[in-house]
Structure 1
Amino acid sequence: MRFIQIDKEQADVPVVKNVIYALGLVWRADKRLMIGYFMQEVFGNVFVWFVQNILFLKVLLEIITGSRDFGMYCRCLLIFAVLSVLDKIVTWSGMRIEKRATKNVLKNINNMIFEKAQSLDVSCYEDPSFYDKYQRATLVATSGYFDIITYDFVSMLSGIISLICVLFTVSSINPEYLLFLVPIFLVFIIETAKSKYVYKRDLEMTTNNRVKAYIQRTVFLRDYAKDLRTSNIFSVLMSRFEGAIEANIVILKKYGVGLFVYSMISSLFEEFILVIGTYAYAGYEFVSKGNMSVSGFSVVLSSVSSVRDVTLEITQCFDEMNQMALYFQNLKDFFDYEPKIVSGDKKAGKFESLEFKNVSFRYPSAQKNSLSNVSFRLNKGETLAVVGINGAGKSTLLKLMLRFYDATEGEVLYNGVNVREYDLATYRNAFATVFQDYKNFALSVYENVMCKPCTDDEKRLAAQALKDSGAWRKISTLSNGGDTVLTKEFDENGAGLSGGENQKVSTARLFARDFEVAVLDEPSSALDPVAESEMYDSLARVTEGKTVIYISHRLSSATLADMIIVLDGGRIIESGTHGELMALGGKYSEMFSLQASNYSNEEAENDEN
């Protein structure tokens, strides 16, 4: 199991800038979250650590020793009671504000993440390192890190205010005691180093955690249930799962000793020097030198306790903020990502032609081209079939056509203009596409077809599209017809469709919209020969006069095409009409004859059954 390599950029992130960045996002999402925590923490902590533990104690001891009269005590007691009630009111109000704001912040931040994800290049989804970064970015929101860093910032701020008040009181008794507090500031340096150390550990565990999450998700998905129960693949997955756990254990052991050393050094400066040193010197002044009053001695000891508690609170908050800031670097990188596929300014007009001119393409991490010197032209109203075996480059051709990627060499022209010059939204909107890895969602059938909430008129349009795709025979038998939700994930009355039925529903999206060019990528991969023939008859009817591109390794669609190009190894090895290629007796003729005989055998078996 591989570990993630830590580079200098990841290990030396700007902590302070990231804290400011995170707090800025929170403030923009809903400023009430910070206000609510401020009301809870600042007033309450100053009241407990300073007013209650030190000032009130000092007044009480001065009265006992005769330095102040009882009237002063009564007045102080009244003020204390008023402040106590006020503390409860402010804390309760702040809690209400904070609870309401927390949900709003998480909603707004998640929306920002979703919107950014929509703008990413398709290539990001084919890059494993992107998933690592995306997982760490979404972890910031799903784990409530925004809430934590806001609480820690306000809590640390309240601790600093309390600490200043306590130090001012101690210095008024004897400034020499401030010397024992100097080591406390070293704790912050130690905790900063410790936070980065923890971050390195967690970063190395990210891929292992992603493997664990994938396997945990897979064993519960319906799509994998049959394969898991009829093969040995479950043992392979469990082996990977156990390997990820073992790899994480190795990482934890690797960093365990270092974290222990950090904690011990931090405790030494945080408690031993502070508490033992102050107590010893205060005892020396009180007993041996006799120049300290009882009230002063008690206040110093109480102050030391408060300083220790406040420092511990500040240190913990500072430590957590450092860790959160490191995680926020991933979110910042995610938001700062600039798509490589940049939209142009021109609006894509009505389709006239699409041309590939000497196009070659190589994926970023690949050693060789997926397409090499591909050239062809498609004019309005023509039908093109792109055929070839799996891995021939058909899907890559589609990605360049829709500008999910840009050509490495050569150019793709729409109406004679390089596609890079067009506005992405208007350009892609010219194509109605059915992908081979079709997906339907846990929404109603009508919503899956129209891709939006449907009016009654839109439902009628969706129903007709379902009839054209051949899906309506099944959909009409469902309890709520086209209003039935697909899958039972969120609705116990939902419907589960077969692979072929799901593909028909997905294909219905094409029939439900107006388009310039129809692109069908393996549109019948899940259909039997009869259903496939019916679908192509419907496609031929609906797309009459339209420009259509079929991309398939199944050649039944090729007979409908005005032009066929045959891809092999990323190159066009044959092109022409069906009749021309059959007469040529090359690769296409061989593939077509083989598939035709397979279809004949399947139909014969169906007749016998």
Structure 2
Amino acid sequence: MAAPNDGHVDPAQLRAQARSQRKSLSRLSVLIRQSVRLVWASGRGLFLGLLALQIAAALALAGQVLAVQAVLAAVLDLEAGSQASAALWVPVLLLAVLTAVTSIISAVQGHMQRLLGERVARSMWDQVLEVSTGVGLASFESPDFFNRLQRVQSNALSRPYQVTQGLIAMGGALAAGIGVGAALVSISPLLLPLLIIGGVPVLLSSRRESRLEFDFAMTQTPVLRMRQYLTLVQTGREEAKEVRAFGLAAWLHARFALVYDTYLGDLSRHLRRRATLSVLGNLGSAVVLVLTLAALVWMILTGQVTVAGAGAAIVAIRMLATQIQTLFAGVQRIFESGLFLEDLRGFLALAEPAREDVRGPDAPAGFAAVGADRVSFTYPGSEQPAVREATVDLRAGEVVAVVGENGSGKTTLAKMLAGLYEPSTGAIRWDGTDIRQWSLASVRSKIAVIFQDFVRYALSAEDNIATGDVSQPPTSDRVRRAARAAGAAEAIESMPDGYATPLSRLFAGGRDLSGGQWQRVAIARGYYRDAQLVILDEPSAALDPRAEHELFASLRHTLEGRTALFISHRFSTVRAADRIYVMDAGSVVEHGTHEELMAAEGQYADLFRVQAAAYLPPEQAGETV
């Protein structure tokens, strides 16, 4: 199994790497190739259609320049007394047709770009979700991973399409520029180089703007995450009752307003800096444009350009200036998005270790013994291990319990046994073989884990149970057997639509369950998996004492010979286990049967009596074994 990747990325280091990437033609070509491959895979027909429309629009613009010149020439001939009415109407109609074609192309392009954008976004979401559901569970213990995920969701998902949009805009502007430029050269060769020079100030200012935008996105990621979280707390269904019970609405809104005001202040300063650069760049281009127009006036006065040619040149200058600005803006968009694409590429690379989980031979169908062999685990960003050299053994068909106070490392140990965390040291072994020798996906398929903080899916009762094994379509008989085994059948079958009832009031016809009923649904989910090893992490936390006792008393019968690891902080629940392991500060401090541990007068006996004292008189609690 690959080592856990916590997605740690130092923002300062990432910015430094981005700055070190020069805006060279080679880098531009790399970004273009990457983005075109993605867009081509998402919608090649739309992409080719957009390119064809760009070329058509470019030809229409060049034709408009020539049509304007022909119209002006015809008008001047009429003023001189000529009867060239046909020579006037033909270019006028041609100009009207070309203008209409340009407008139609623009409208069609907008709709096609929207559809292509959604297809690219869908493709990117597929890849991002593959990473978020495939990376090691330890990644979700790292705030750096969440920061990176937030950046990808906020910025990088749309950037591949923005690069392609920039490429399409560049292609269209280049094609239009060539057409209009050729028309302008036919009027006066001097005007074209002046206009090209006019785009340089915009290009120079855009280089700095792209860096500012990337730096701003990097520094604002934690702020945006907090804003998103505060929004969720104030709108979430689960949080609503506590917000009202404790009167938190005004306090939370004030926190939200403070975070949002901080962001708006930073955004305002950022946009002022970008606006200043943009103004300077466009002022430089405007100065060059004025010089170009002055040169045109000089040509008219010296007789180097006719009046009709001058009118067409003015139209061409305006069109060409727009196309040059579009060309350089496309370059800016590509380079600016490229900084985010580097971040996105690094994030998507996190999926590689996850793909290794399905590689390798399948794990055996069963085992005679499974256990943790001196395993340790340290969470990302923590200096102290959560589990220290713990050893736990389970033999086939046994019910083994792990007990300890909160924070003793019980759940972390369970996640290692389930193949969800890789031990920092030591190994999880099946019949003496390190499970890393097999495909981890096949190992997990033979384990059912029922967590205390299980997910309450807003789906039907049948789907909630059948999520225990999605390797094949659910069967009603199997779902009902699992529900009966977990004691959830009565609550489900009493609902209006039975197993088809959505277990959430978010949807019409939905019903909610009590905490204890939900707990039984979660346990049914584990039974449905029909796994060789069942791990129950505080499965009775929401059950009343009688239901808890019944659950554990029937556990052996329900498991039908399967191996079970039962985790609890309630010592009275697990006294009938074949073996009990006691954890403290991440270590296994003692183990044995209930009677052996009570006779040892160690930590188990002390904690058992402390808990018993809450229910029995002191003299009886002290004698209880």
> Are 1:116 and 2:131 an aligned pair?
yes
Residue-by-residue CA offset, 1:437-491 (whole Å, 9 max, x unaligned) = 11121111011101278999822221222122122222122110111011122x2
The answer to whether the 8 A contact 2:454-2:522 is kept is: yes
The answer to whether the 8 A contact 1:516-1:547 is kept is: yes
The answer to whether the 8 A contact 1:389-1:553 is kept is: yes
- Shift of residue 339 of structure 1? 5.1
2:4 aligned residue:
none
The answer to whether the 8 A contact 2:131-2:351 is kept is: no
TM-score by length of 2: 0.87
The answer to whether the 8 A contact 1:36-1:98 is kept is: no
- Shift of residue 243 of structure 1? 3.3
Instruction: Give the whole-Å Cα distance in 1 for the aligned partners of 2:471 and 2:36.
Output: 40
- Shift of residue 197 of structure 1? 0.9
Q: 1:18-417, aligned counterparts within 5 Å?
A: 18-47=31-60, 49-52=61-64, 54-66=65-77, 76=91, 101-140=116-155, 145=159, 147-181=161-195, 182-231=197-246, 233-234=248-249, 236-274=251-289, 276-287=290-301, 289-338=302-351, 340=353, 342-343=356-357, 345-349=360-364, 350-417=366-433
2:16 aligned residue:
8
Instruction: Give the whole-Å Cα distance in 2 for the aligned partners of 1:74 and 1:250.
Output: 58
- 485, 499, 505: which one pairs with 1:488? 505
Instruction: Give the whole-Å Cα distance in 2 for the aligned partners of 1:358 and 1:446.
Output: 40
- Shift of residue 202 of structure 1? 2.3
The answer to whether the 8 A contact 1:469-1:538 is kept is: no
Q: Which amino acid aligns with 2:215?
A: K
Instruction: Report which stretch shifted further, 239-248 or 192-201.
Output: 239-248
Instruction: Give the whole-Å Cα distance in 2 for the aligned partners of 1:115 and 1:414.
Output: 29
Classify the secondary structure of the residue corresponding to 1:203.
helix
- Shift of residue 527 of structure 1? 1.1
Instruction: Give the whole-Å Cα distance in 2 for the aligned partners of 1:359 and 1:166.
Output: 72
Q: CA 1:456/1:476 → structure 2, altered by over 3 Å: closer, same or farther?
A: farther
The answer to whether the 8 A contact 2:58-2:173 is kept is: yes
Q: CA 1:339/1:551 → structure 2, altered by over 3 Å: closer, same or farther?
A: farther
> Are 1:460 and 2:473 an aligned pair?
no
The answer to whether the 8 A contact 2:141-2:379 is kept is: no
- Shift of residue 161 of structure 1? 1.0
Instruction: Give the whole-Å Cα distance in 2 for the aligned partners of 1:273 and 1:566.
Output: 81
Residue-by-residue CA offset, 1:232-269 (whole Å, 9 max, x unaligned) = 55455334323322332442354344323311221122
Instruction: Give the whole-Å Cα distance in 1 for the aligned partners of 2:115 and 2:253.
Output: 42
Q: Which amino acid aligns with 1:169?
A: A
The answer to whether the 8 A contact 2:483-2:521 is kept is: yes
Instruction: Report which stretch shifted further, 204-213 or 64-73.
Output: 64-73
The answer to whether the 8 A contact 2:449-2:534 is kept is: yes
Instruction: Give the whole-Å Cα distance in 1 for the aligned partners of 2:510 and 2:527.
Output: 24
Residue-by-residue CA offset, 1:392-432 (whole Å, 9 max, x unaligned) = 01111112212222222222212211121110111111111
1:529 aligned residue:
545
The answer to whether the 8 A contact 2:449-2:536 is kept is: yes
Instruction: Give the whole-Å Cα distance in 2 for the aligned partners of 1:591 and 1:4.
Output: 46
- Shift of residue 346 of structure 1? 2.7
- Shift of residue 565 of structure 1? 1.0
- Shift of residue 554 of structure 1? 1.7
Classify the secondary structure of the residue corresponding to 2:199.
helix
The answer to whether the 8 A contact 2:141-2:380 is kept is: no
Q: Which amino acid aligns with 1:522?
A: E
Instruction: Report which stretch shifted further, 381-390 or 92-101.
Output: 92-101
Instruction: Give the whole-Å Cα distance in 2 for the aligned partners of 1:455 and 1:416.
Output: 31
Q: Which amino acid aligns with 1:306?
A: M
Instruction: Give the whole-Å Cα distance in 2 for the aligned partners of 1:600 and 1:544.
Output: 34
Q: 1:484-523, aligned counterparts within 5 Å?
A: 484-489=501-506, 491-523=507-539
The answer to whether the 8 A contact 1:121-1:339 is kept is: no
Instruction: Report which stretch shifted further, 326-335 or 276-285.
Output: 326-335
Q: Which amino acid aligns with 1:7?
A: R
TM-score by length of 1: 0.89
The answer to whether the 8 A contact 2:234-2:252 is kept is: no
Instruction: Give the whole-Å Cα distance in 1 for the aligned partners of 2:373 and 2:331.
Output: 59
Structure 1 vs Structure 2 CA RMSD: 3.0
Instruction: Give the whole-Å Cα distance in 1 for the aligned partners of 2:339 and 2:384.
Output: 37
- Shift of residue 36 of structure 1? 3.5
Instruction: Give the whole-Å Cα distance in 2 for the aligned partners of 1:395 and 1:319.
Output: 50
- Shift of residue 94 of structure 1? 5.9
Instruction: Give the whole-Å Cα distance in 2 for the aligned partners of 1:218 and 1:586.
Output: 44
Q: CA 1:11/1:249 → structure 2, altered by over 3 Å: closer, same or farther?
A: farther
Q: Which amino acid aligns with 2:166?
A: D
- Shift of residue 340 of structure 1? 4.8
Classify the secondary structure of the residue corresponding to 1:550.
strand
Task: List gaps (5 residues or longer) in structure 2.
Answer: 1-9, 618-625
The answer to whether the 8 A contact 1:433-1:521 is kept is: yes
Q: CA 1:82/1:307 → structure 2, altered by over 3 Å: closer, same or farther?
A: closer
Q: Which amino acid aligns with 1:598?
A: A
Q: CA 1:78/1:153 → structure 2, altered by over 3 Å: closer, same or farther?
A: same
Instruction: Report which stretch shifted further, 247-256 or 537-546.
Output: 247-256
Instruction: Give the whole-Å Cα distance in 1 for the aligned partners of 2:278 and 2:106.
Output: 32
- Shift of residue 205 of structure 1? 1.4
Instruction: Report which stretch shifted further, 462-471 or 590-599.
Output: 590-599
- Shift of residue 169 of structure 1? 2.4
Classify the secondary structure of the residue corresponding to 2:132.
helix
Task: List gaps (5 residues or longer) in structure 1.
Answer: 602-609
Matched residue pairs, number?
Answer: 593
The answer to whether the 8 A contact 2:578-2:593 is kept is: yes
Instruction: Give the whole-Å Cα distance in 2 for the aligned partners of 1:188 and 1:477.
Output: 69
Instruction: Report which stretch shifted further, 23-32 or 132-141.
Output: 132-141
The answer to whether the 8 A contact 2:67-2:94 is kept is: no
The answer to whether the 8 A contact 1:22-1:328 is kept is: no
Q: Work out the percentage of aligned pairs sharing the same amino acid.
A: 25
Q: Which amino acid aligns with 1:238?
A: H
The answer to whether the 8 A contact 1:384-1:550 is kept is: yes
Q: Which amino acid aligns with 1:284?
A: W
Q: Which amino acid aligns with 2:481?
A: Q
Instruction: Give the whole-Å Cα distance in 2 for the aligned partners of 1:215 and 1:549.
Output: 37
1:423 aligned residue:
439
Q: CA 1:431/1:113 → structure 2, altered by over 3 Å: closer, same or farther?
A: same
Instruction: Give the whole-Å Cα distance in 1 for the aligned partners of 2:90 and 2:237.
Output: 72
- Shift of residue 19 of structure 1? 4.2
Instruction: Give the whole-Å Cα distance in 2 for the aligned partners of 1:90 and 1:268.
Output: 31
> Are 1:591 and 2:607 an aligned pair?
yes
Residue-by-residue CA offset, 1:193-246 (whole Å, 9 max, x unaligned) = 212212211221121111111111111112111211122554553343233223
Q: Which amino acid aligns with 1:458?
A: T
Q: CA 1:128/1:592 → structure 2, altered by over 3 Å: closer, same or farther?
A: same
Instruction: Give the whole-Å Cα distance in 2 for the aligned partners of 1:247 and 1:456.
Output: 50
Instruction: Give the whole-Å Cα distance in 2 for the aligned partners of 1:419 and 1:447.
Output: 30
Q: CA 1:327/1:563 → structure 2, altered by over 3 Å: closer, same or farther?
A: same
- Shift of residue 577 of structure 1? 0.8
- Shift of residue 75 of structure 1? 5.5
